[in-house]
Chain A
Amino acid sequence: MTVIAIPRAARGIWRRPDVSWLLALRVWQRNRDVYLNLWKAEAMWPLVEPLVTLVALGIGLGDFVELDGNQSYIDFIAPGMLAVYPMWMAAAEMGWGSFFRMDSQRTFDAIISTPASVDDVTSGEIFWGATRGFISLCYVFVMVLVLGTIESPLAVFIFPLSFLPGLMFASMALSYSAVARSVSSLNYFFAAFITPQYWLAGVFFPLDRLPEWVQVVAWFTPAFHVVRVYRGLVEGDLDWTMLVSIAWMIAVTTVFYVLALYLMRRRLVK
């Protein structure tokens, strides 16, 4: 009998994703199990960091800041806090967290020995990154609520909406982890990409005070759009440009999800 091999590009970027959502959920559940074992330690950073920032900048520095319309500085930065800390969390989970699972623990090698595909792993991981972002959002939301900075009930829509930026930052960070050579090379991503977005996405000061070219660059950064939409929802001040921001987030998420699928296949399928 002559058996003919059936060739199939296993690594091409345009290959249709091979995702079983049930198995992606299994990957997510595995991460959840680990998180529930460690949740106390995992809760420290996402609680302490935004709390210190709100107190130090919002209340401490805020005393010296005068804004238009008598808005207090803590009210000004609160919507951005809801955007940038979940960004940090989702990115950190897909940066250090996923890299560690992939490289040191070889968790992904164990998973793809089962019926799960690399695409299932990538998808489950990204959903987990978005989930970590959501948990962080819940913490920060309670803080800004207690501090009395939520002006509009529309702010509750931030909860469902937060999965979009969560998936976006998770996809971006996992795309980078998939090409990172070592844990320390993840620093490039966080130093060059996440930290500047934290400071320059319009969280701490309005961008119209900056040179025009900085504003143009800032417009293209994903965090800028998240902050803009969240600010509108917290202040109850919506306008149509927010739809542009949401469309931009969807576009960036799609591009980086497809890129993460490709880069993870390239990394794990050898």
Chain B
Amino acid sequence: MADIIVARDLTKRYGDFTAVDGISFDVAAGQCFGFLGPNGAGKTTTIRMISCVSPVTEGSLTVDGMHVQTEPRRIKGLLGVVPQEDNLDPELTVLQNLRAYARYFDLPPALAQQRINEALSLLQLGEKQKDRIDALSGGLKRRLTIARGLLNSPKILVLDEPTVGLDPQARHLVWQKLRSLKARGITMLLTTHYMDEAAHLCDRIVVLHQGKIIAGGTPDELIDSHAGKEVIELHGPIEDRLALMSRLDGRTDVSVEEVEDILYVYVRSENGFDASSLKLEANRVVFRRANLEDVFLRLTGRGLAEE
């Protein structure tokens, strides 16, 4: 499918600080495209540039063939933005919030009301129409913010940390709603530092670190190339860890990383490795499949993210 967002050498500087450092990427229409990275990596800045609320310092950025610098109003008309912090109007009801927001897109009143009804029913908010915002839980506020982002039938839904601060039930409900939107063919941009969220939703991921893209691909590709197939975690005293490291010395199908008091052994080949040969004490060892969290931590360093 055609690329709906094209960024080339995209750069954002605040004075001497470079928040986004010459990144290039393409987002295909209909994809869910994830920006992963620790706090301060440049994820939010990137999607703020795409949303035309933060000027590009250098490079080029087009959305649906239009330059963000020259056509911000038209681009913003195509986007549904779900910000990181809820910015609903607390003094208006659920319905009033949606009506006020729909007016910015200049929809005819009948169409606006139809879209409002659709969004309310899709996000199961119909019974809450007359409620004040203060009366809503965090999960309901999030769903309302997503509903608000759908009123203009956006081509692209921009989600900045969409489930931050939600309890597990609320997160899973939001994910389910987002998957159903994706099934309708809407393009999604997602920033997150929850790896399970990225794994659940994203077709393609780029990992940002200190303003640069340090890896990109599908979730499986990233796991394969950066973490391997399986992971052995060894929780235990330093002598055990040293003993294990000496036994692994010289092997090419594994890589080892020591973080604080845990040793991680990343196993590349699925079947060519006999874990029992390591003679590990089972209660201190976890065998599991590699996941995006491993990719993330290997690529961006552990505990090194500074705000």
Measured CB to CB, the residues of A under 8 A from B are 3-8, 10-11, 20, 22-23, 26, 29-30, 33-34, 37-38, 105-107, 109-117, 269-270
Contact = CB atoms under 8 A, between A and B. Distances in A.
Given A3-B8, A26-B100, A107-B87, 12 more contacts: A22-B106, A29-B103, A30-B100, A34-B89, A37-B91, A105-B89, A113-B76, A114-B101, A115-B73, A115-B104, A115-B105, A269-B55
B92 A106 contact: no
Contacts of B91: 34, 37-38
Contact of B79 (A105, A113, A117, A270): A113
A270 B14 contact: yes
23 contacts: A3-B6, A3-B8, A5-B58, A5-B60, A5-B69, A20-B73, A30-B103, A33-B100, A34-B89, A37-B91, A105-B90, A106-B87, A107-B89, A110-B83, A110-B88, A113-B76, A114-B77, A114-B101, A114-B104, A114-B105, A115-B76, A115-B104, A117-B72
A269 B76 contact: no
> Which A-B residue pairs are the 9 nearest by beta carbons?
A114-B104, A106-B87, A113-B81, A3-B60, A110-B87, A10-B55, A115-B73, A26-B103, A34-B91
A112 B53 contact: yes
A3 B5 CA distance: 13
A54 B56 CA distance: 55
A106 B51 CA distance: 16
Nearest to A113: B81
Contacts of A115: 73-74, 76-77, 104-106
Given A5-B56, A7-B69, A105 B87 contact: yes
A227 B101 CA distance: 39
A37 B92 contact: yes
A34 B62 CA distance: 36
Contacts of A10: 55
Q: Is the interface of A mostly helix, strand, loop or mixed?
A: loop
Q: Classify chain B: how many residues form its interface, as a range.
A: 35 or more
B54 interface: yes
Interface string B15-46: 00000000000000000000000000000000
Nearest to B152: A114
Contacts of A23: 104
A131 to B, nearest CB: 16
Contacts of A30: 89, 100, 103
Nearest to A10: B55
A38 B103 CA distance: 21
Interface in B57-73: 58-62, 67, 69-70, 72-73
Nearest to A27: B104
Contacts of A26: 100, 103-104
Interface of B: 6, 8, 14, 51, 53-56, 58-62, 67, 69-70, 72-74, 76-77, 79, 81, 83, 85, 87-92, 96, 99-101, 103-106, 152
Contacts of B104: 23, 26, 111, 114-116
A174 to B, nearest CB: 19
A110 B158 CA distance: 13
A113 B100 contact: no
Nearest to A101: B89
A27 to B, nearest CB: 8
Nearest to B149: A113
B73 A113 contact: no
Nearest to B76: A115
B70 A8 contact: yes
Contacts of B73: 20, 115, 117
B102 to A, nearest CB: 9
A269 B105 CA distance: 21
A187 B4 CA distance: 48
B56 to A, nearest CB: 7
A114 B97 CA distance: 14
A4 B100 contact: no
Given A6-B67, A37-B91, A113 B83 contact: yes
A110 B100 CA distance: 11
A8 B69 contact: yes
Given A105-B89, A106-B85, A269 B77 contact: no
B51 A113 contact: yes
A11 B57 CA distance: 12
Contacts of B6: 3
A51 B41 CA distance: 57
A269 B45 CA distance: 12
Given A115-B76, A269-B53, A110 B69 contact: no
Contacts of A111: 104
A22 B73 CA distance: 13
Nearest to A112: B53
A116 B152 CA distance: 13
Residue among A3, A106, A117 with max Cβ neighbours from chain B (10 Å) = A3
Contacts of B87: 105-107, 109-110
A97 to B, nearest CB: 11
